[in-house]
């Protein structure tokens, strides 16, 4: 069905589902004409400085010429071929790069379409490994509250059951074990009591747990919380003692976002299984990957092949662009850029401290968070940011920013200034 040019947005509002919206009551929608660098250009000509990197993925900015060149060159040669029984150079070269740059020991790469699928594969790996080594009773996962791992059924089962977005599916999801979220912040003195909940869970249920699943050091969409790397180090030791695998969800944090190449690097920890995505392709294509150690791969192999195989697995266009994105990470100074962003976020968001609506302000790497006492009303708040010429999309009580690494000082100041301006207009909590 086609529509006239003047009617396409009306058709969108009536027929097209967008993330976390209802087609019967859609929220504000801003039509986009194009995007370049750190700017999104709306159909009406307004330009917005993107503070979200399109859900944290466009780390090099939009329409980067090197990514476009990789896409065009690969399209001329091979746009797609099934990965079952066939292989191709872009996928193999990307896998080699990932093995080299991720924590030592993650030697086997499974390509997936999205972060949620990468987490589904990670969970399957853990279950199949335990079955392969004879630990057939280990069929559950333990995970920390306030976590988010995706919207497919396995991934939903390890998202926070109370504060997450999936309460509607409670009766359908596998029942996992949830422990207290780490309370020791990354900038606080370590308190060993912070591990008590994990110790109890492993002591009481270790025999039935396949893996501990977590977002290392930074919890993303479940609360944008930062916790002490020491928690992760101690958790690794406890997992080893109880025969439990450690699954690290680095989909949001991978490729420099937290200030180190991977958040696990902040703790010097090597997980048994690690999922990456989002920034892997610099936001130009959809691609994710799940990496596993040789020990895990060998255990899985004892009971046959890993039971997963997406149709578009290792798509040549996506893997070629991902290779170019990793080239840019090495060629361009991402570490000093992220360090500068962190410093400027700290200073730029400082004014939010003490505002009536604000509960907390925190920054780590290229992540800035203003936590409010009460949830925002999106229909009211989102247009305020657009009117200020920036794209910041809050959710719940969180107004946060995760900009492209190429954002300059002036543009970042406009983003943080807009956040402080909008937050200053919000009322103090009721009661």
What residues are labeled active site?
20, 148, 249, 278
Which residues, in sequence order, are CB contacts of 152 under 8 Å at separation 6+? Answer: 116, 117, 119, 120
What is the full DSSP assignment across 163-177?
TSS-GGGGGGS---E
- Are 390 and 49 contacting, i.e. CB atoms less than 8 angstroms apart? yes
Q: Is 397 helix (H, G, I), strand (E, B) or coil?
A: coil
Q: How far apart are CA 151 and CA 166, in angstroms?
A: 8
Distance CA 234, CA 217 (A): 12
Helix-strand-coil percent breakdown of the chain, rounded to 5?
Answer: 40, 15, 40
CA 122 to chain centre: 15
Quote the tokens at residue 97: 């790069």
CA distance 412 to 365: 14
Contacts of 93 (CB under 8 A, 6+ apart): 319, 323
Taking the CA of residue 177 as centre, how many other CA atoms within 13 Å lie in the half-sphere pointing to its CB? 23
Contact 270, 248 (CB under 8 A): no
**CA–CA–CA angle 155, 143, 234 (5° rounding):** 135
Query: Which residues sit opposite 78 in a β-bridge?
Result: none
DSSP codes, 195-211: GHHHHHHHHHHGGGEEE
- CA atoms of 87 and 315, how far apart (whole Å): 10
**Token pair for 279:** 């920034």
Closest CA to 229 of 251, 259, 199: 259
Find the radius of gyration of the CA atoms of the chain.
Answer: 22
């Amino acid at each position: 069905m086609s529509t006239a040019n003047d009617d396409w947005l009306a058709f969108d509002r009536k027929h097209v589902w967008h993330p976390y919206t209802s087609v019967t009551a859609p929220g504000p929608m801003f039509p986009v004409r194009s995007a370049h660098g750190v700017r999104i250009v709306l159909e009406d000509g307004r330009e917005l400085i993107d503070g979200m990197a399109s859900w944290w993925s466009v780390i090099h900015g939009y329409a980067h010429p090197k990514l476009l060149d990789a896409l065009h060159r690969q399209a001329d040669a091979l746009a797609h071929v099934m990965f079952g029984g066939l292989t191709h150079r872009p996928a193999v070269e990307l896998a080699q790069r990932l093995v080299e740059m991720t924590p030592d020991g993650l030697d086997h790469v499974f390509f997936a379409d999205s972060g949620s699928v990468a987490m589904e594969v990670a969970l399957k790996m853990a279950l199949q490994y335990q079955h392969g080594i004879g630990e057939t009773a280990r069929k559950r996962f333990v995970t920390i509250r306030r976590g988010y791992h995706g919207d497919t059924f396995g991934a939903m089962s390890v998202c926070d059951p109370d504060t997450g977005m999936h309460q509607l599916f409670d009766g359908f999801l596998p029942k996992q074990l949830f422990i207290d979220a780490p309370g020791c912040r990354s900038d606080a003195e370590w308190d060993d009591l912070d591990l008590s909940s994990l110790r109890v869970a492993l002591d009481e249920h270790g025999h039935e747990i396949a893996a501990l699943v977590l977002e290392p050091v930074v919890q993303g969409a479940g609360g944008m919380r930062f916790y002490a790397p020491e928690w992760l180090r101690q958790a690794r030791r406890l997992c080893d003692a109880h025969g439990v695998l450690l699954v690290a969800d680095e989909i949001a944090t991978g490729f420099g976002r937290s200030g180190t190449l991977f958040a696990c690097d902040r703790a010097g920890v090597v997980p048994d299984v690690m999922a990456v995505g989002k920034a892997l392709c610099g936001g130009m294509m959809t691609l994710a990957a799940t990496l596993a150690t040789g020990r895990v791969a060998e255990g899985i192999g004892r009971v046959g092949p890993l039971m997963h195989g997406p149709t578009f697995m290792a798509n040549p266009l996506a893997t070629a662009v991902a290779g170019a994105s990793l080239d840019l990470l090495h060629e361009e100074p991402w570490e000093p850029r992220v360090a500068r962003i962190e410093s400027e976020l700290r200073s730029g968001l400082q004014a939010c401290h003490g505002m009536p609506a604000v509960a907390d302000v925190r920054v780590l790497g290229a992540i800035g968070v203003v936590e409010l006492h009460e949830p925002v009303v999106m229909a009211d708040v989102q247009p305020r940011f657009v009117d200020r010429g920036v794209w910041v999309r809050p959710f719940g009580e969180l107004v946060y920013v995760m900009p492209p690494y190429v954002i300059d000082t002036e543009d970042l100041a406009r983003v943080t200034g807009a956040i402080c301006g909008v937050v200053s207009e919000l009322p103090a909590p009721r009661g």
